[in-house]
Structure 1
Amino acid sequence: MPGTRALWLLIALLTPTLAAAETCLSPFVKRLDRPEKFLYVFCVDADAKDNDFVAVIDVNPDSASYGTMIHTLDLGTKGNETHHWGFTDDRTRIWAGGLLSSRVWIIDVATDPAKPRVETILEDIPQKTGLSGPHTYYALPGRMLINFLGAADGGLPAGMAEFTNDGKFIRRIDNPKDAPYGYDVAIKPGLNRMVSSSFTPLRNYKKPLAQMDLKDFGSEMVVWDFKERKPLQVGKTGLAPLEVRWSLKPENNYGFTNCALDNSIWLFRGRADGSYEFKKVAQTRALPADLRQSPDDRYLFVSCFGDNLIQQWDVTDPDQPKLFSTVSPVVQPNMMHLTGDGQRMYVTNSLLSTLDHAGRFYVRLVHVGPDGMKVDPFFNVDLNKLPTGPARGHDMLIN
Structure 2
Amino acid sequence: MVVPRFRTPALLGLALAILAAPAATRAETCLSPYVKRLDRPEKYLYVFCVDADAQENDFVITVDVDRASPSFGTIIHRLDLGSKGNETHHWGFTDDRTRIWAGGLFSSRIWILDVATDPAAPRVERVLDGVSAETGLSGPHTYYALPGRMLISFLGAADGGLPAALAEFTNDGEFIRRIDQPEEAPYGYDVAVKPELNRMVSSSFTPKRNYGKPFAEMSLDDFGDELVVWDFKSRTPLQVIEAGLAPLEVRWSLKPENDYGFTNCALDHSIYLFKGKGDGSYEAKKVADTAALPADLRQSPDDRYLYVSCFGGDEIQQWDVSDPERPVLASTVVPCVQPNMMHVTSDGKRMYVTNSLLSTLDRSGNFCVRLVHVGPDGMKVDPFFDVDLTGFETGPARGHDMLLN
Instruction: Give yes or no for TM over 0.5.
Output: yes
For residues 92-122 of structure 1, give each alpha carbon's deviation from its aligned partner in whole angstroms, at most 9, with x where no partner exists.
0000000000000000000000010000000
Write the distance in 1 (CA, Å) between the matches of 2:282 and 2:120.
Answer: 44
Write the distance in 1 (CA, Å) between the matches of 2:83 and 2:155.
Answer: 21
Q: Match of 2:288?
A: 282
Q: Match of 2:93?
A: 87
Q: Decide whether the 8 Å contact of 1:42 with 1:394 is kept in 2.
A: yes
SS at match of 2:133: helix
Q: Match of 1:10?
A: none
- 1:272 deviates by 1.4
| 1:326-345 pair list within 5 angstroms | 326-345=332-351
SS at match of 1:307: coil
Q: Does 1:240 align with 2:241?
A: no
Q: Decide whether the 8 Å contact of 1:18 with 1:35 is kept in 2.
A: no
Write the distance in 1 (CA, Å) between the matches of 2:105 and 2:77.
Answer: 24
Counterpart of 2:52, as a letter, is: A
Q: Does 1:107 align with 2:118?
A: no
Write the distance in 2 (CA, Å) between the matches of 1:255 and 1:44.
Answer: 31
Write the distance in 1 (CA, Å) between the matches of 2:381 and 2:131.
Answer: 40
Write the distance in 1 (CA, Å) between the matches of 2:205 and 2:24.
Answer: 35
Write the distance in 1 (CA, Å) between the matches of 2:294 and 2:210.
Answer: 19
Pick aligned residue for 1:181 from 181, 187, 204: 187
Q: Match of 1:292?
A: 298
Q: Match of 1:74?
A: 80
Write the distance in 2 (CA, Å) between the matches of 1:335 and 1:394.
Answer: 6
For residues 178-230 of structure 1, give each alpha carbon's deviation from its aligned partner in whole angstroms, at most 9, with x where no partner exists.
00000000000000000000000000000011000000000000000000000
SS at match of 1:19: helix
The higher radius of gyration belongs to: 2
For residues 17-46 of structure 1, give each alpha carbon's deviation from its aligned partner in whole angstroms, at most 9, with x where no partner exists.
841000000000000000000000000000
**Identity rate, percent:** 78
Q: Match of 1:360?
A: 366
For residues 292-315 of structure 1, give each alpha carbon's deviation from its aligned partner in whole angstroms, at most 9, with x where no partner exists.
000000000000000100000000
Q: Match of 1:374?
A: 380
- 1:359 deviates by 1.2
Misfit runs of 4+, over 6 Å: none
Q: Decide whether the 8 Å contact of 1:265 with 1:280 is kept in 2.
A: yes
Write the distance in 2 (CA, Å) between the matches of 1:199 and 1:127.
Answer: 22
Q: Match of 1:7?
A: none
Pick aligned residue for 1:147 from 129, 144, 153: 153
Pick aligned residue for 1:258 from 242, 255, 264: 264
For residues 238-287 of structure 1, give each alpha carbon's deviation from its aligned partner in whole angstroms, at most 9, with x where no partner exists.
00000000000001000000000000000000011100010000000000
Q: Does 1:20 align with 2:26?
A: yes
- 1:386 deviates by 0.8
Q: Match of 2:67?
A: 61
Comparing 188-197 and 18-27, the one that deviates more: 18-27
RMSD: 0.8
For residues 44-64 of structure 1, give each alpha carbon's deviation from its aligned partner in whole angstroms, at most 9, with x where no partner exists.
000111100001000001111
**Runs of 5+ unmatched residues, structure 2:** 1-22
SS at match of 2:50: strand
Pick aligned residue for 1:270 from 256, 276, 301: 276
